[in-house]
Structure 1
C-alpha cells in the first residue's frame, strides 16, 4: 500500500479514516462502479456527516420505518442517492447488500434517484434539484400544524425534526429561494438545511456561475447560520448539529465546507461528480483512505458503529400515545384516524344546492363545496399563491407562527415552492393539502405536480381562470396548451366541470381519491347551472349525456358544455339532430371500457368543443373545434367571438365539418 501523501484539502482529521464513514463511502463508490453510472463525489465527501446524523441525532427506528413521530431526512440532491441507500443499509433498514448491488438497474429498490414507496426510509421522491428543500419545508410545516392539532400538554405525540441535505446546485434553483423565504417567514425552528458547499458543479468550479454569499441570503430569510469547516471532524460535526437542534424561533442553515471526491484522484474536481471513478482511480481511493476490503464487504466493526445501542424513542412514544388516548379521547381518535390509519377525505359532506339556470362560476362553486367539505374534514388545509380571493379557496384562519393553528396557508407569489411544499405536507401524513393559482401559472409549478403524481400523493391542485374567456388580461394569462399538458401526465386526473353541480362532484371525487393528485380546472366567468346535472354523482365525471342526437355528438368540457348545448339548439333548427355529452375528465373516460365509451358517445360523428389546444382529443372524437393559437386581450364576449366560440359560430363549424365528411 502506498504512503498516504494526499493532504485532503489541508484537513487531516484522523476521522477521515474512520471505519464507519469509509464503509458508507465505499458502498457508494463500489455501487456506482458496478452500475458504471452514478455520482460518487458527494458520498465520498458527505459520508462522515451522514454517519453522525443517522447514529447520533436523527430520531428514527429502522424496525419502524413509518413511525409517525420519526425525524424526517430528505436528500435534496437526489443524484447522490447511494449516500442515502448505503446509510439505510448500514443502519439496519430493510435494504440488503444485494439491493445495493442492483443500483440503477431495472427493477431495483435502489433507483438512480430516491423514490418514495420504493425504498424504506425514503421520505420523498427527489429528482430535479431544489425539490427536496421545498418538500422539507412542507414536512416541517406539517409537523408544526400536527403538533398544534394533536398534542396535549402531558403527551406530545408529535415532536420531530426535519433535516435536508442539499448542495450548490440546489442553492442555484429558484424553488429553494422561494421555499426558504417562506420557511424563514413561518419560523420553522425544527427545520435544518445541511448545505454541502464544495464549490464544484457538473460543468466545473461553481464560480463559473455562482459566487453569492449564501449565508447573507439566509440571514435575510431569517435563518440561524452555523458552519462546519471540516466535515471529517466528528467533534465539530456533533457540536454543530447539536446547536442546530437547540435553535428556537427560526430555521437553521448549516454551511458545510467539504471536498467532493475526497480520497480519489478527482479530489475537489468536477470529474468526480457524475461518473464512475474507474478501476484505477478506485484502487487509488482505497489506498488513500486506507480501506482494504473488497467491494460490498462491510466489516463487523462498521456495522456495530452504525447500529449503536441507542434508544430510538419509539417505545417511549408508544407510551405517550396511550397517555394521549386517556387524556383526550377525541383528539386521539382524530390522530389515530388521520395519522396512524391515513384515513383522509373519506367523510361525506353536504353538497351545496344550486338552482337551474343560475349563473355561477365554477371557481365560486368550488369555494362553496370546498368549505362545506372542510367543515366536516379537518385534515383539509391549503392555500394560494397570493390569489386566494380569486381562487375562492379561503377556509378558516391563517397558518402562522407561533401557533400554526389555522388552515389557510399563505404561500405568497411562489407557485413552484407552493406545489412542492404541498407535496411535503401530503408526504408527512395527517393532512389532505391543496394548492391553488391561475391555470396559466400551472406551468410554474408543473415539475412539482409531476413529482406529486410519481409519488401518488393525495393532493389537490385548484386552477381557476381556465380559458380565453378570462378576457382582458390577454394572451399571457389565457391558458391554451395547459389542459393538453396536464392530460399528458401519467397518474393525474384532470377535472374541468361544466357547472356548479359538476364542480361539487369534482370536489367530492378529489377528496376521496388517494392514489395520486387531482387537478380542478375552473372558470372565472359565471356558467349556467344545467338542468341535466341534477342527478350527477362522482361516476358521472367520466362523462354523461345531456342531450340526445342521431346526427352528431358534441363532446365538451367546462364552459364549452353550455356553449355546445346552445349550438345544438341552433343545429336542431337547421335540421341537424345534435347530441351533447359533458366529459369533465378525459382520464376517467379513458378508464371506461370501449363498449361503455361507445354507448356514451354514440355512433354518430363526434366533435369536441373546447377553447384550448386540440391535442389529445382525437383518441375519442373525429374532429375538434379548439384553439390553434394564443388568445387576445379584450372583454370576454369579444374574445370568444374573435376565436369562434359563440353558439352560431360553433353551429356553423359543425355543419362545415359534417359537410366535409
Structure 2
C-alpha cells in the first residue's frame, strides 16, 4: 500500500481512502460515463467526515437528528454512493455497478427519494449549498422550539461539499450571504478548491478571493493546504468548525482533481472515465490488484461497520432521551412526533376561511393573507417569508416573530417568519432545504413575474417531490402601472409545463382557501399560488370543495352554445360576459379552472362533465394562451407583452373586458355552427388509452 503520510491517522485510514478512489474509478469506468476526478480528490475529506464526525444510522436514514450531508457538486455522486455503500446504507455493490443505468438507485446525479441516504437532489450547481442553508435553518428553528434544559434533542449539523462551479452560481451567493447574516453555526461547508471546471483551469474565469468573500458574508473561514494527504489537518479543521456555534464555516480544502490518475490536476479527469491503463497504474500505485474491480479490503469494511454500529448506538441513546423528554414534556413531545411523522393537526382545515357574495371584493393577495393568518395559528410547522416584498405580498401574519439570530435583537431562532431579502432564487432553494429536513411546511413569496428568477429551484422542488408553497402575488397585467417588466404573461405557461408542480390561480376567497388546502395536503408536490393585486368579487357558486377538484362548473345552462373557461381575475369578467351573451340569445356556461394540474388528476367522468362535448370551448386568461389547447378549442389571451397604465385601462387595451369576451365568444359560436360538424371535448384524444 502507498505510505503517503496521514498525520495522526493510521494506515487503515489510508487504505480506506485509496479504496474510495479506486472504487470511484471503477464505478465511472463501468458506466462509461460520469465524473471520477472530484470523488478521487475529495476521498480523504469524505472518509474523515464520515468516520470521525457524521452522526447517522444507516438502518434508519430518516432519523430526525441525523447529521445532514449534501453533495452540492452533485456530478461527484459516485463518491456519495460509495460512502453510502461502505457505511451500511441500502446501497449494494451491485447498485454501484449499475451507476447511471436506467431504473438504478445510483442515477447520474443524486436524487431525493431514489437513493437511501440522499437528502436533497443536486447537480444543477449552487442548488445544494443553498439547500444546505435551508437544512441548517430548519435545525436551528426546530432546536429552538423543542429543546429544553437537559434535553438537547435537535442538535444535528449540516455538512456540504461544494466546488468551484457551485460558488460561481448566483444562487449560492444569495443563500450563503443570508446564512452568514443568520449566524448558522451548525452549517459546515468543505470547499473542494481544485481549480478545475469543465472549461479548464478556473484562471480563465474565476479568480476572486473566495476566502475573503466568505469572511465578508460573516462566515468562519478555515484553510487546509494539503487536502490530498493531510488527513489530520482535515480532521482538525472540521473539529474547529464544529466548535464555533456563532457562524457558518467554510473550509478551503486544496485538492488535486483525479488524485493518483495520470490526468490528475487537469480538466480531462473532470467529466470522463479514466482509461484502462490509467486505472491499472492507479491501482498498482495504491497497492491494489489491477486485475480486480470493485474490490474493498475487509479492513475497510470492518472500519465502516464500526462507524455504522456507533451510529445505531447514538440513535438508540437519542431514543432514550426522547422517551425521558416525553415523560417530562408530553405536549411538546407529542407535537414534535406528529411533525416528524408528517401528520397534520386534527381538524386543521376548519381554520380555512369561507366566503359568500355578501363579503366584500378584495384582491386575492389579501385573501391569501387572511388564509395564512388563520393557518399560522393552527399549523406550527408552517413557516415562511418574502423576498423583500412583505408589504406587497401580505405574507406576515399578526404576532409573527422573525427568524433571526438572538444577538441581533430582531427576533430569535424560534421565529417562523423569514426576511429573505431580495433573493428570490436563494429563497426558493432554501425552502427546498427546509422542506427536505422534515417537520416543516415552508413558503416563500415574491411577485409571480419574479418566480422566474427562482426557476432552477422551483424545478428542483418538483423533481424532488418537496412540499414548498410559492406565494406569487401581482399575478398578471392587473398590476397595471409597473408595466411589462413586471407583468408575467408567459410565467404561467412554463410553470404549468413543469411535471409534479401545481399552479393555482384562484378567482375568489373560497378558491384561495382551496388552493392552500390542496397545497398543504400535497406532501410530495410543490405549489405556486398566484394572487391578484386588484379586487375580486366573491362568486355565488364557488365553494372550497368544488375548487379542490382543480376546475368546476361555475354557471351551468342546458344545451349550451359555448363554454367559457377561465382563471383568477378573468372569471368575474366572464360572468359579466355571460349576461351579455344571454341578451344576444347565446347560451353560455362558465367553468372556473384554478388549477389545471389538479383537474388532470380527476376521473375521466368528472372531467368530461366539466368540459363536455357538444359545444365549443373558449379559454380566457390574461396570459399567453400557450398550453390551453388541452382544454379549449379557442383561446383568448395575450399575444405579446402587457402595457403600463391603470389596470382597468390595460385590460381594455387588450380587449379583456366583458364586451371583448362576449364579442369573441359570439364569433366562436358562429364559426362552429357554420362548420356544422360535431364538436368533441378537447379532453378526448386518440392517445387517451395508451399507457406510457
TM-score w.r.t. the length of structure 2 is 0.92
1:582 aligned residue: 592
TM-score w.r.t. the length of structure 1 is 0.96
1:572 Cα offset (Å): 1.0
1:609 to 616, 620, 624: 620
Return the alpha-carbon distance in structure 2 between the equivalents of residues 296 and 215 of structure 1: 37
Return the alpha-carbon distance in structure 2 between the equivalents of residues 263 and 540 of structure 1: 58
1:450 aligned residue: 459
Contact 2:513 2:544 in 1 (8 A): no
> For 1:283-320, what per-residue CA distance to the aligned partner results, in whole angstroms no more than 9, with x for missing partners?
12223333326111111011122333663211211111
Return the alpha-carbon distance in structure 2 between the equivalents of residues 405 and 17 of structure 1: 41
1:630 aligned residue: 641
Residue 653 in 1 paired to residue 650 in 2?
Answer: no
Distance 1:553 1:627, change over 3 A: same
Residue 215 in 1 paired to residue 211 in 2?
Answer: yes
Say which is worse superposed, 170-179 or 304-313, in terms of deviation. Answer: 304-313
Return the alpha-carbon distance in structure 1 between the equivalents of residues 299 and 591 of structure 2: 69
Is the partner of 1:632 in helix, strand or coil?
Answer: coil
2:52 aligned residue: 56
1:535 Cα offset (Å): 6.7
2:238 to 237, 241, 245: 241
> For 1:162-188, what per-residue CA distance to the aligned partner results, in whole angstroms no more than 9, with x for missing partners?
000000001100011000000000000
Return the alpha-carbon distance in structure 2 between the equivalents of residues 144 and 537 of structure 1: 39
Distance 1:165 1:628, change over 3 A: same
Distance 1:569 1:538, change over 3 A: closer
1:348 aligned residue: 349
Contact 1:55 1:307 in 2 (8 A): no
1:126 Cα offset (Å): 0.6
1:290 aligned residue: 287
1:412 aligned residue: 421
Return the alpha-carbon distance in structure 1 between the equivalents of residues 266 and 203 of structure 2: 13
Return the alpha-carbon distance in structure 2 between the equivalents of residues 211 and 279 of structure 1: 34
1:332 aligned residue: 333
1:81 aligned residue: 77
Is the partner of 1:63 in helix, strand or coil?
Answer: coil
1:401 aligned residue: 405
Distance 1:260 1:535, change over 3 A: closer
Contact 1:345 1:512 in 2 (8 A): no
Residue 591 in 1 paired to residue 601 in 2?
Answer: yes
Contact 1:437 1:463 in 2 (8 A): yes
1:378 to 373, 377, 380: 380
Is the partner of 1:609 in helix, strand or coil?
Answer: strand
Residue 162 in 1 paired to residue 158 in 2?
Answer: yes
Is the partner of 1:435 in helix, strand or coil?
Answer: strand
> For 1:383-414, what per-residue CA distance to the aligned partner results, in whole angstroms no more than 9, with x for missing partners?
11011111111131101113311110111110
1:24 aligned residue: 20
Contact 1:20 1:306 in 2 (8 A): no
- Give the number of aligned pairs: 654
1:474 aligned residue: 483
Say which is worse superposed, 598-607 or 588-597, in terms of deviation. Answer: 588-597
1:511 aligned residue: 520
Return the alpha-carbon distance in structure 2 between the equivalents of residues 345 and 359 of structure 1: 31
2:30 aligned residue: 34
Contact 1:15 1:234 in 2 (8 A): no
Is the partner of 1:366 in helix, strand or coil?
Answer: helix
Which structure 1 residue ranges, 5 or more long, are not aligned? none
Is the partner of 2:69 in helix, strand or coil?
Answer: strand
Return the alpha-carbon distance in structure 1 between the equivalents of residues 666 and 298 of structure 2: 80
Is the partner of 1:531 in helix, strand or coil?
Answer: coil
Return the alpha-carbon distance in structure 2 between the equivalents of residues 352 and 460 of structure 1: 18
1:536 Cα offset (Å): 4.4
Return the alpha-carbon distance in structure 1 between the equivalents of residues 203 and 557 of structure 2: 67
> For 1:584-633, what per-residue CA distance to the aligned partner results, in whole angstroms no more than 9, with x for missing partners?
11112222233322211233111000111111111111101011101011
